[in-house]
Amino acid sequence: MSDQVGNSQATNPLAWVNGSDAPEKSSLDLGFMALSDCASLVVAATQGFAQPYGLTLNLKRQSSWAGLRDKLVSGELDAAHSLYGLIYAVHLGIGGVAPTDMAVLMGLNQNGQGINLSQGLQQQGVTSPEALERKVHQSRTKLTFAQTFPTGTHAMWLYYWLASQGIHPLRDVESVVVPPPQMVAHLQAGRIDGLCVGEPWCASAVQQNQGFTLATSQAIWPDHPEKVLGCTQAFVEQYPNTARVLVMAVLEASRFIDDSIENRRSTAQLLSAGDYLDAPLDCIEPRLLGLYNDGLGNHWQDAHALRFHAGGEVNLPYLSDGMWFMTQFRRWGLLREDPDYLAVARQVQQLDIYRQAATAVGVAAWGEEMRSSQLIDGKVWDGSDPAAYARSFRLHALADDVVRHALR
């Protein structure tokens, strides 16, 4: 990896003098939330994937996304399992924190989130998108939906899905923020009517007879971007070699998880431990293997279930993935003006580091910058005209003064 030398020279003269591409920092604190999609970090840290690179990964479970964000920005965490939208919101200074330059090192997973409705709605026969739309527009009291962070992926999936069914997410329903592991308790207490969250918490709600899964996130966007390995730009600049070997270790762990069904089963067992998800195996394992039971009697093997690697397609930090979240911030009035979508994405998505790491561990997918997808409403997103895309939706809040409302 002689092409590293030029990079390191700018930021760490010593590394260049020593001709070393060893990590500048040998022990890293990694934040994560108790969700099935943190798997690659847990596997990398506990199963000896980082040691050969001279790296020790210390896992630090966080109790809320806001707390994780604050520790990431303050430097108490070196890097973290993060929502795509969380990294971009901090970078753009949305949501009550001063803007801090942030970095997406790699994607950690695609798919595997869900929208559930409560048992109460189920008993009233609200078990289809059409029934929900009628219920929302006919009743006087607004239904309350929970997501996990105001600018996070779950808020964006919830908004996108509701809007695709003709429900305005900021006017027709109330939305509240609840940390993922507390979702089921809130359903049980009747404080919320629906939710959007990552697994295993949708499956857990179904298992505990607290409602049903109305839509999976992969039904909104098959193979959508979800969690990323995020850090500050300052971390990347100060520790470029560390960032690269961290990506290498997590890439190898991701490949290992997706390698066989036995490896996935063992991953589910590991995740269920008290230190990680602290949830029963039978809530975690089925959907980690793609086996869905929606709680309405439907069972299926999902073609776009949670995945961690797919030859690197999952992990490549596509510019178009990063830009999509900005288009949705714009659509819902979280951004009052268009940012320079492409320039911001280029700054945040660490394509160079990813390419070096992917090449070093023999992962094929690293060449593309954009990808094309068709979402649930039939629209195609390929990253080509983000400003026009953000304006192209029938339901939106482009000009509304809803920022405060949505950020509550």
Partner 1 sequence: MLRILLINDTPRKVGRLKSALTEAGFEVIDESGLIIDLPARVETVRPDVILIDTESPGRDVMEQVVLVSRDQPRPIVMFTDEHDPGVMRQAIKSGVSAYIVEGIQAQRLQPILDVAMARFESDQALRAQLIARDQQLAERKRIELAKGLLMKMKDCNEEQAYTLMRRQAMSRQQKLIQVAEQIIAMSELLG
Sites of contact with partner 1 (CB under 8 A) = 25-27, 43, 46-48, 51-52, 54-56, 256, 259, 262-263, 265-267, 269-270, 272-273
CA dihedral over 312, 317, 323, 328, signed as positive or negative: positive
Residue whose pair of structure tokens reads 């697994």 in the numeric block: 199
| Strand 27-32, strand 56-61: pairing | parallel
CA dihedral over 389, 395, 397, 399, signed as positive or negative: positive
d(CA 56, CA 40): 15
In the complex, the smallest distance separating the C-beta of residue 208 from partner 1, rounded to whole angstroms, is: 23
Nearer to partner 1, 264 or 396 (CB): 264
Distances (CA, A) of 38 to 62, 168, 257, 268: 12, 31, 12, 11
In the complex, the smallest distance separating the C-beta of residue 21 from partner 1, rounded to whole angstroms, is: 16
In the complex, the smallest distance separating the C-beta of residue 46 from partner 1, rounded to whole angstroms, is: 5
| Strand 227-232, strand 102-107: pairing | antiparallel
d(CA 57, CA 229): 13
In the complex, the smallest distance separating the C-beta of residue 263 from partner 1, rounded to whole angstroms, is: 7
User: Which of 80, 29, 5, 37 has its CA nearest to residue 201?
Assistant: 37
Nearer to partner 1, 195 or 277 (CB): 277
Q: Which amino acid is at 161?
A: W
d(CA 74, CA 319): 26
In the complex, the smallest distance separating the C-beta of residue 138 from partner 1, rounded to whole angstroms, is: 49
Nearer to partner 1, 51 or 128 (CB): 51
d(CA 270, CA 285): 10
Nearer to partner 1, 26 or 124 (CB): 26
In the complex, the smallest distance separating the C-beta of residue 98 from partner 1, rounded to whole angstroms, is: 24
In the complex, the smallest distance separating the C-beta of residue 384 from partner 1, rounded to whole angstroms, is: 42
Phi and psi (nearest 5°) for 220? -75, -45
**247 within 8 A of 105, measured Cβ to Cβ:** yes
Nearer to partner 1, 51 or 298 (CB): 51
